[in-house]
Amino acid sequence: MCLLWVIPIDGFSVESSQLMPLNRYFPQSWGTKDGLPHNSIHALAQTSNGYLWAGTWEGVARFNGQQFTVFTRGAQTGLPDSGIRSLYYNKPRDELLVAGNRGGVTSLIAEQWHAQAPLPAMVNHAFRDSNNVLWFALEDTGIAMRTPDGTQKEYIVNSSAYRIIEDGFGVIWFATNQGLFKYINDKFQLAVPDHNILSGPSFTLALDSKKRVLVGTEHGVWQQRNGTFALLHSSLADKSVSSILLDHQNSIWVGTINHGLYRLSGLGLEKLDATTGLPNNRVFSLLEDLEKNIWIGTNGGLFRLRRALFTTFSQSQGMSGDFLRTVLQTSDGQLLAGGSAGLDIFSNDAFSSASLTTGEAFSVLSLAAVTEEVTLVGTYTKGVLRYENDQLTPYLNRHLGLPSNEVRAILLASDNSVWYATAQGVVQQTPDGKLIHFNEQNGLPAHFSMGLAEDREGRIWIATGTGLAYIQQGIVHTVSFPEHSDAQHAFSFSVVEKGTWITTDRGLAYFDNATQALSVIEKSQGLPVDKLFSIGIDHNSGVWLSSNQGVILTSLSSLKECLTHPSALLEFEHFKEENGLASIQINGGSQPSQFVDVDGNVWLPTAKGLATVTPANLAMLSEFPIPVSIEAVLLDGADQQFDTDKREVDVTPLTTRVAFQYAGLGFAMPSRIEYQAMLVGYDQDWVNRHQFRMTEYTNLAPGRYQFKVRARYIGGPWQEITSPFSIRVLPSIYQTFAFKFSVFLFFCFVIYALYKVRFHHLKKSEMILKQRVDEQTRSLELQTKRFEFQATHDDLTGIANRRAFDRWLVQYFEEAKAKQTPLCLAVIDIDHFKQVNDQYSHLVGDKVITEVARILNREVPHYAKCARWGGEEFTVLLPEYDLINARVAMDHVRKIVAAHDFSFIAQTLKVTISIGVASADGARDHDRMLTHADQALYTAKENGRNQVTIFE
């Protein structure tokens, strides 16, 4: 982005500190590939229900933040042509005026289209003034006016009019190709007859903060001042202006015909064009929505600038390179960022690079401030550099005693010694300059060291490529991860009052100073990724974790809950590109690879620049209310037309599925919108729908229901739909009371008649018949039970067989999908069973299968479904179990089998099992779920058996 110069401008009342430079906005664009009917966006508007509207050559598109709905010419809208030139929203009437080609004009009120009489030429702009008079700017035909009684008049004929506006004094202004006109005292007149510029073509109009007129012309923007007009900014004097917008901070946005977009504010004049992200340099329209996002309609698509949670700085903002590894703030407020292209200094909202006095190129790995004036810079191949007074000089390298020039961490300890983590061990530099080396010979787990920290007890912690250690009083102590943890690499540290947090390749570890114990929070407790590179704690006890899959925000309280209760799940938010990150690869293996500055901003080095986030903005952005709209009602998948006023649909008896599609109309952070739904008459309370935009109900009982939905940004206030939707499920004839009562009477009559006819006969043979019936009943029941048992149970083990399990699998899978409840499937195999048969005999093998079946039947949860699948394989269905709980349950079974004494079958006999577990969530059908579990079992066997493996 290009920052020009600033001159005093009348009307800017917002402090510059409250303004955000254009290069910190998060951009996003949409085109025909995203659902727009055409890439030329002539007009933009937002209605009070939250929808954004874009006028194009191929119709008007309604945007809900996720998808576009297009309205074109025809009976629905009443437009004679799909070419849309003008959108104007009149808030007092809640009316969206749509106008364009072939003189078409229609208005949308309460979701109903109302076509109006067409005009004689293309309508460039339609406008309704404060007196309810309609004005139309026409191509080649001038101005048309329609009064509320339907009277129409034409003015300034044989000219082209482009824009109409009403100022704060009730004067109507017109931008035309013959100059700027105004309508006052029922007369049209040139606004400034003797003004050379304003007597020529004017293209657009807007009002400034004092409700005075801004005019866009072939020669810049002109502002009304003291009865005349003055040039808004000299740098715009040679620009043809097509659109103007005044935002909530009184900044003036200027769209041009072929020079892109400008913003004039307390920060000066800034520019955004096609070289810096704008789809096209021709800007047709501008809009600020209810959430303060700026929308730009261009000749190449729709473009938006929003205040994203994260801002990313890269080469386009003046940095030396995009691939960064470390960031640090010095005592004088400068921000240092190091990466593959060297060292950058961020000061006064601008970047500058630091060069070595020798002129050599270097790659930065680590940073550490050792005094108020001096910062040490660890590099990839140059050892340690000294940064002081904006100068970089060589300081310490392999020739001066370092074991390696690759320095990934530097630490100033409390005793004023400086520690260096290198690729060949750790070096302590004492205050008198002596170098003390620590490596594998001294007890370090590995030479390669990546992180350093000093805790409250004076321990120097070291993160290495194959383990964790600390040095205390010159002695190296290795620290082992818990047995259940698969962690191997440590990356960085965060020291707190009672311990130290450590990021690893298998979660987040915590060392408790009091107990000297190391605990690990892993993926099984809800972490979305395994490998965590850095940890930072902001001023509000928020914990920021970086990874190769984005940034994770949690809290100290949630982390402590997971440490105290291993079954607890971590509460977190996961941020990716849609939140402003240019790359989700947050680099690690260097130090510091995260930094919280004095203002509470969190800085992170990424593969595509330096990312920063202000935690306070998260709460601020979440406070926006989210209007929510029901967009479709589906009966057995078919979209239903309904009266927008009545908002009710009748559901026929044969309908089995009723679905509601809805959208939260928030544009600031669409990925963070969550929903809750409730069907009054069916649900007892609100049901969390998370980010799902559809709720479906099946086999509803006859009756009346009312569907409600509400939306919010995560952590923000709920906004409930203002008009709930009603449905009436009609009963089938057999569900009516009259039908049921008639059937009841009929059966009563039949039974009575049969009773009377056979009474005499039954009386005589009562005893004989009773005996026969009793005998036959007992015989049939016994035979039925025997057949049922044989058909559904395994002869050898006595547990359910494959036939029974196949029926269960289909039944439970369909129920889990319909009710959206968890379901897991485990496939179990006896390890090395062929060796048991070969070594002990098939008879012993059968006994082993029988004993394992008995253990499984006893140890699985009481409502689980266990069966012999065939041979030495078993299956277990776990309703209401998600993957985490299923893994715990099956690991318990595995441990019981492994610890079981099989010596009563054969001496020295040991039996273990391997288990593969899969969830219904990741499977489209029950067969796929079974395949997933079988694949997980195969992985367990490949990885050494006697383990539980989750399909991922």
* Contact in structure between 387 and 429 (CB atoms under 8 Å): no
Domain match, 902 and 867 both: yes
Q: If you search the block for the tokens 């009316």, which residue do you land on?
A: 95
142 to each of 81, 177, 181, how far by Cα in Å? 20, 9, 11
| Beta-carbon count within 10 A of 828 CB | 28
Task: Tell me which H or E stretch contains 738.
Answer: helix 737-764
Length of the chain: 952
Q: How far is CA 676 from CA 195, 570, 702, 708, in A?
A: 59, 21, 24, 8
pLDDT at position 318, please? 85
Calculate the dihedral angle through the C-alpha atoms of 420, 424, 430, 436, rounding to the nearest 10 degrees.
160
- pLDDT at res. 450: 92
663 and 569 part of one domain: no
> Long-range CB contacts (< 8 A, 24+ apart) of 809-816?
809/877, 809/926, 809/929, 809/930, 810/926, 812/865, 812/877, 812/879, 813/920, 813/923, 813/925, 813/926, 813/929, 814/926, 815/879, 816/879, 816/920
* Integer Cα distance of 284 and 302 in angstroms: 10
pLDDT in tens, 461-513: 999 988 899 999 999 999 999 988 888 889 999 999 999 999 999 999 999 99
Tell me the C-alpha distance between 47 and 64, whole Å: 11
Which tokens belong to 533?
Answer: 């590179």
Cα–Cα distance for residue pair 768/387, rounded to 1 Å: 111
Same domain, 589 and 655: no
pLDDT category of residue 784 using cuts at 50, 70 and 90: low
- Residue 434's Cβ-count burial label (10 Å; 0-12, 13-18, 19+) is exposed
What is the pTM for the complete model shown? 0.68
Answer whether residue 6 shows pLDDT above 50: no
56 & 180 share domain: yes
Q: Report the C-alpha gap between 537 and 551 in whole angstroms.
A: 13
CATH code, domain with 220: 2.130.10.10
Q: What one-character-per-residue DSSP string does 530-572 give?
A: S---EEEE-TTSEEEEEETTEEEEEEHHHHHHHHH-TTPPPP-
The answer on 711 and 573 residing in a single domain is no
CB-CB contact of 500 with 455 (8 Å): yes
Given a contact cutoff of 8 angstroms between Cβ atoms, the answer to whether 574 and 600 are in contact is no
If 0-12 CB within 10 Å is exposed, 13-18 middle and 19+ buried, where does residue 123 land?
buried
Bridge partners of residue 678, in order along the sequence: 708
Tokens standing for 588? 């690690």
User: Rounded CA gap, 133 and 145, in Å?
Assistant: 7
Q: Is residue 260 part of a domain?
A: no
pLDDT recorded at residue 643: 63
The confidence band for 607, taking pLDDT boundaries of 50, 70 and 90, is: very high
Same domain? For 143 and 174 the reply is yes
Q: How far apart are CA 392 and CA 221, in angstroms?
A: 47
Domain count, the chain: 5
Looking at this protein, which amino acid is placed at residue 671?
S
The answer to whether residue 738 scores a pLDDT higher than 80 is no
What pLDDT score does 508 carry?
95
> Can you give the pLDDT at residue 431?
94
**Residue 4, Cβ density class (10 Å: 0-12 exposed, 13-18 middle, ≥19 buried):** middle
Look up residue 292 and give its DSSP letter. Answer: S
Amino acid symbol at 378: G
The Cα angle at residue 184 between residues 182 and 187, in degrees rounded to 5:
85
Q: Which residues contact 935 (CB under 8 A, 6 or more apart)?
A: 916, 918, 951
Q: What is the mean pLDDT of residues 691-711?
A: 92
191, two tokens: 């606004």
Pairwise pLDDT comparison (607 vs 775), residue with the higher score: 607
Please choose, from the candidates 310, 926, 878, the residue with its C-alpha nearest in 3D space to the C-alpha of residue 605.
Answer: 310
Query: 731, 756, 780 — which closes off a domain?
Result: 731
Domain co-membership, 497 together with 560:
yes
542-556 exposure pattern, b = at least 16 Cβ within 10 A, e = fewer? bbbbbbbbbbbbbbe
Q: What is the mean pLDDT of the chain?
A: 90
- Which of residues 931 and 672 earns the better pLDDT score? 931
Claim to verify: residue 720 and residue 742 sit in the same structural domain: no
Beta strands in 280-417 (DSSP E): 283-288, 294-298, 301-306, 310-313, 324-329, 335-339, 342-347, 350-354, 364-369, 374-379, 384-388, 391-396, 407-412
Q: Is the N-terminal amide bond of 201 cis, ω within 30° of 0? A: no
Distance CA 60, CA 58 (A): 7
Q: Residues 489, 614: one domain?
A: yes
Phi and psi of 211, rounded to 5°?
65, 30
Average pLDDT over residues 132-159: 92
CA 90 → CA 45, 47, 726, distances in Å? Answer: 10, 9, 29
Helix (H) or strand (E) holding 924: none
Asked, for residue 399, whether it belongs to a domain, the answer is no
Helix locations, 250-301, DSSP H: none
Whether 767 is covered by a domain: the verdict is: yes
Residue 138 near residue 127, CB atoms below 8 Å: no
Query: Of 731, 751, 772, at which residue does a domain stop?
Result: 731
- Estimate the crossing angle of helix 833-840 against helix 842-859, to 10 degrees: 140
Greater model confidence, 748 or 235: 235
Residue 790 burial (CB count, 10 A) = 11
Residue 493 dihedral angles phi and psi, to the nearest 5°: -135, 160
Domain boundary (599, 622, 645) is at 622
Rounded CA gap, 324 and 321, in Å?
8
- 618 within domain boundaries: yes
Q: pLDDT of 363-402, one tens digit each?
A: 999 999 999 899 999 999 999 999 998 899 999 999 999 9
Q: Are 613 and 496 part of one and the same domain?
A: yes
pLDDT at 363: 95
Instruction: Break the chain down into helix, strand, coil percent, rounded to 5.
Output: 20, 40, 40
3-state DSSP assignment of residue 466: coil
Residues of the domain holding 851 = 795-950
Does residue 546 fall inside a structural domain?
yes
Question: Given a cut of 80, is residue 9 above it in pLDDT?
Answer: no
799/779 same-domain check: no
CA dist., res. 223 & res. 233, Å (int): 9
Residue 3 has pLDDT above 50, yes or no: no
**What are the contacts of 799-804 at 24+ separation with CB within 8 A?**
799/853, 799/856, 799/857, 799/866, 799/867, 799/868, 800/865, 800/866, 800/867, 800/868, 801/867, 801/868, 802/867, 802/868, 802/869, 802/870, 804/867
pLDDT of residue 390: 87
Asked whether the predicted pLDDT for residue 764 surpasses 80, the reply is no
> For residue 844, what is the domain's CATH number?
3.30.70.270
Can you tell me the distance from the alpha carbon of 853 to that of 913, in angstroms, rounded to the nearest whole number? 12
User: What is the maximal distance between C-alpha atoms in the chain?
Assistant: 125
Query: Does 246 lie in the same domain as 156?
Result: yes
Q: What percent of the chain has pLDDT over 90?
A: 64
Say if residue 353's pLDDT is above 70: yes
Of 697, 705, 694, 695, nearest to 656 by C-alpha is 697
Q: What CATH number should be reported for the domain holding residue 696?
A: 2.60.40.10
777/563 Cα distance (integer angstroms): 61
Name the band, by pLDDT with cuts 50, 70 and 90, for residue 645. low
Specify the 3-state DSSP secondary structure of 894.
helix
Has residue 431 been placed in a domain?
A: no
List Cβ<8 Å contacts ≥24 apart for 176-182.
176/137, 176/142, 176/143, 176/201, 176/202, 177/201, 177/202, 180/215, 181/143, 181/156
Distance of CA 895 to the CA centre of its chain: 39
Contact status, residue 265 vs residue 252, Cβ threshold 8 Å: yes
CA-to-CA distance for 705 and 725, rounded, in angstroms?
A: 8
* Whether residue 129 has pLDDT greater than 70: yes
Region for residue 841 given its phi and psi (left: phi exceeds 0; alpha: psi -120 to 50; beta: otherwise): left
Quick one: pLDDT band at residue 22, thresholds 50, 70, 90?
Answer: confident
